Amino acid sequence: MIAVVREPIDPGGLLDAVGDPRAGAAVLFLGTTRSRNAGRTVERLEYEAFETMAVKEMRRLAAQARRRWPVSRVAMVHRAGVVPVGEASVAIAVSAGHRAEAFEAARWLIDRLKEIVPIWKKEHYRGGAVWIGPQQGGPVALPGRALAGAAGEARGAGAAVGNEGVAGRRRTARARPGR
């Protein structure tokens, strides 16, 4: 299951999609929309997707993960459109024979998704809205597509159900100076 959807994500659907009797582990990651970011109250989030390319890039990532780890199945779903605060905007499920590779692959997949899958986030506050991510600086070369390093790169694989958290705050902080 690889999709961009406009309705709420059903985490159970992803777990069903990665169900495999040979798998001894299934990891589910949910990225949920935060009510506060960089000290501002977020009223809602809006995601814009280049949908056909986003699906292709997610399929490519899933295939890479399967080559890199002994993973059984991968499911990736991203919301597009308005996502109310507190709901999942992205979900990734991975099943594998054992938990280590399921955690590592899920961690790697969400990190790569946020770098290369063409979906953009706009935060709406009272009295304004801002696109998240660097918007200034001229043309840039293509994002790294090589499989970087060893499997050990996916560190801290404990985030089974988390929040978009720190990375989002960093991004916003960087997005500011150009405005």
Partner 1 sequence: MQVRLRFFASLRERLGTGMVRSLRQGTTAGEAWEALARETPALRAMRVRFAVNEHYVDPGHRLADGDELAVFPPVSGGSP
Binding site for partner 1 (CB under 8 A): 48, 50, 52-53, 56, 113-122, 131-143, 145, 167, 170-171, 174, 178
Query: Is the distance from CB of 49 to CB of 78 less than 8 angstroms?
Result: yes
Nearer to partner 1, 66 or 171 (CB): 171
Q: Which is it for strands 40-49 and 128-131: parallel, antiparallel or unpaired?
A: unpaired
Residues 6+ apart with CB under 8 A from 58: 2, 76, 78, 113, 117
Distance between CA atoms of 31 and 135, rounded to whole angstroms?
A: 23
Shortest distance (Å) from residue 74 CB to partner 1: 18
For tokens 């801290």, the residue is 156
Is the four-CA dihedral 20, 26, 32, 38 of positive or negative sign?
Answer: negative
Shortest distance (Å) from residue 72 CB to partner 1: 26
Nearer to partner 1, 36 or 145 (CB): 145
Nearer to partner 1, 12 or 133 (CB): 133
Shortest distance (Å) from residue 134 CB to partner 1: 5
Shortest distance (Å) from residue 7 CB to partner 1: 21
